[in-house]
Chain A
């Protein structure tokens, strides 16, 4: 419950912090951290325009996407406090429920019959598909290291380990950050601020969404950021008491938002054709985590 509330709270300001960081980095003052949320609220109030080509899929897809993210958040623990949903191998459920949302996101883009949105859909489908193994290998390694099989047990035990667990934690953080960037289609995979439809991924998929639906999708992205931020925070919180862990959680989330902002300010987007290779490299970083886990466990002797 705690994690759910905190993640929802963080999601309200996450993108705001990212945008603020980017503004500051480029020498502007920038909007306040609540601006993205205000935009979304405005969208909720606005009417919608639907393409004549679209069908019922286009109408229900954003809601299913949003629901999938809520389900995924329910799975996440807060340190040693269980999430609302917790069972063995809940991370498989986590990944597949997110994939379900993505499924609908993709077909809703194809529903518009546009020449551009299919392109975004194809890219999003391809890149997020390539990132799947990285997440599973990472979770497999952490499960192997800790001897447990649910998010909460893994994160609780992970902290108890030696200093090497922090080293593994750092690698894992790297993997999670990149997966988060892929899932949310941000730099260096995709540039949300590009103005050419041909070079977009996520933005071009939702070109035709408007009003309430667009609000849901945009806030879905915010929540996804907070979601991955929470995963990363969990790597370091372990079983600290609440008066340490809540500030730590908020600190890590803000730090993550700042890192995303800096990453977006100072890195260029990859060439589209190189994205696939980059994402595959991510799987090998996951494998690196796996090998270090094996080494820590002394399996190579």
Chain B
């Protein structure tokens, strides 16, 4: 089979997969789904691997009816995303087998769920293949809708449904922007092939069209202030879906932005600078909110926003590099972005999966209800810990590699000719350091509160470790993560090859005489390994020393207090309270309580609750919407429910049309 046949065959296998999922009993559906996800992943990854090795695919279906020519193109950029999507979808599907077991009675719901899952995977991949704007939009829509149906699996829950609606509406605002952008290109150039975007950019201002695309794809990716669907949709979805959505569907948004970036012809510096600044704010905003929330899936969702910020800063830096003819900046910026796309898809899906295991066992997403889970679920705890270290960008894991490259890009950018750029870079360095700091804060808190200490609440059912087939995909992810952390050069050479084919203008020859970047990247791999060895050596010494002694067990030191209980443990809320107070201009604490009345001699039992609200969502979006609603309400008299009036409206409309045509106004 040639590559095109592989691609087309994936469509056939999807349909066959649907049939199997539909007819098999409910406990087999998930297994069949993973099987077909695996087949699809194979069918779609083989061409992608060919492309990465240097044979681009460019095939055009001529004159397909209304659509015109449909080009199927896989360049190295698409191939990179296709591989990432396939990997995460596959691990998600395998994890989902165990995760969805608890719902096995809902046969019809499960059928729909797994059918949508297959569709979801295939549509995400095809978004990266098709380069005809109309077909692209159709597949894009299929992707959004299938993910919507995946999110609202528990549609009986009103909150889930609400989150789903929110997602649906926001995705369509995004589609509206993308559609307008494509229409603009179509009207100006007369073709729906993506190449037309390049021609459009060559003759028109780049800023406005890019802005349209950026808003459209940015909603998917979750740049502020377009991120507000993420913290709702991710907690509502089943965990394997949140993992895949956070791991890859937001990356499809990044793919869209990257694709448009490859077509840009001018205005690089201004676009790069704006993108860099916006991304840094996205990163800061995401991680600050993430530090506050007690719902651990919401915490992870905000953390996705942060990582999108990091990826975006890489793209921004790359654009600045193109604009200032600095190949180093371009390569460092884009390669950090591409590598972070991979890294984030790995550790974020890992974290969502392990968080899902916790949710499955405890049925709560509120970390303040948990604690001490490391004793009940030691492997899940370890998996979450690895994910937390990686996402904090700490060596020896993969997160450090991409952040290191981004840092080196920013430091290189300090020597820009333009003073303004130097300032921007020092701002970027400071922000990135701050983001790194808060993410360590966030994940020590989350890991500590969920897994360490003693249980804060008596759970109805004692949690136990999840079965092996749920842990297996997570171990595979950890293995890949470690391979990036320890052998970064392998991945970085691949990424640089992608950049050199995707951006032919970028000259990689500087790498031949400036080895420092490659040396640095290979060094961090070697020294990450050395770090692990040093840790193991110290642990062995400790073991030898400790073996001679008797270890005594006793209660935690309570400063002389003899009756400590679990409620006295430090909570996540108090852990992050100081930071919340410090940043109270971004994260608002909303408290709900009843004041003690003066004549209330014997106070009744009362509740006190506090939650943090999203600045953008509550201060900007909701406020604007309320204004809009108020204005719309003024016209409510038109829609008054009386049929006679509606007929009258119709009559008036017809008369208007009649006179309009008669007087030839219309």
A residues neighboring B (CB under 8 Å)? 44, 46-57, 60, 63-64, 66-68, 70-71, 74, 85, 87-90, 92-93, 95-97, 99-100, 102-103, 106-107, 110-119, 121-123, 125-126, 128-130, 132-133, 135-137, 140-141, 143-144, 147, 149, 197, 207-208, 211-213, 216, 276, 283, 287, 290, 294, 299-300
Contact = CB atoms under 8 A, between A and B. Distances in A.
Contact of A71 (B371, B431, B531, B564): B531
Given A103-B444, A111-B448, A143-B414, A96 B436 contact: yes
Contact of A119 (B404, B531, B549, B574): B574
B594 interface: no
Contacts of A216: 538, 542
Nearest to B404: A92
B575 to A, nearest CB: 4
9 contacts: A47-B552, A88-B517, A92-B404, A97-B531, A113-B453, A114-B556, A129-B441, A133-B429, A216-B538
A56 B377 CA distance: 13
Given A89-B520, A96-B395, A113-B566, A103 B389 contact: yes
Contact of A122 (B425, B426, B438, B576): B576
B542 A53 contact: no
A67 B535 contact: yes
Contact of A129 (B395, B440, B523, B530): B440
Closest 7 pairs between A and B when the two form their complex, measured CB to CB? A118-B570, A110-B448, A129-B437, A113-B453, A87-B523, A133-B430, A47-B549
Contacts of B519: 87-88
A147 B558 contact: no
Contacts of B429: 133, 136-137, 140
B552 A49 contact: yes
Interface string B523-546: 110010011001101110010011
Interface in B422-450: 422, 425-426, 429-434, 436-438, 440-441, 443-445, 447-449
Contacts of B371: 113
Given A53-B454, A103-B389, A67 B433 contact: no
B599 interface: no
B582 A276 contact: yes
Given A51-B556, A121-B448, A129-B434, A99 B394 contact: yes
A137 B389 CA distance: 24
A54 B375 CA distance: 9
B434 A96 contact: no
B256 interface: no
B549 A211 contact: yes
B412, B448, B549, B553 — most chain A CB neighbours (10 Å): B448
B569 to A, nearest CB: 5
A192 B568 CA distance: 24
Contacts of A123: 578
A212 B546 contact: yes
A113 B556 contact: yes
Among A60, A99, A137, the most chain B Cβ lie within 10 Å of the Cβ of: A99
B553 A89 contact: no
B4 interface: no
Contact of A144 (B422, B430, B564): B422
A266 B566 CA distance: 40
A144 B421 CA distance: 13
B534 A67 contact: yes
A279 B453 CA distance: 30
A206 B591 CA distance: 33
Contacts of B394: 96-97, 99-100, 103
B559 A137 contact: no
Nearest to B566: A113
A113 B430 contact: no
Given A63-B538, A92-B408, A149-B516, A132 B434 contact: yes
Chain A CB within 10 A, most for which of B378, B527, B566: B527
A14 B612 CA distance: 45
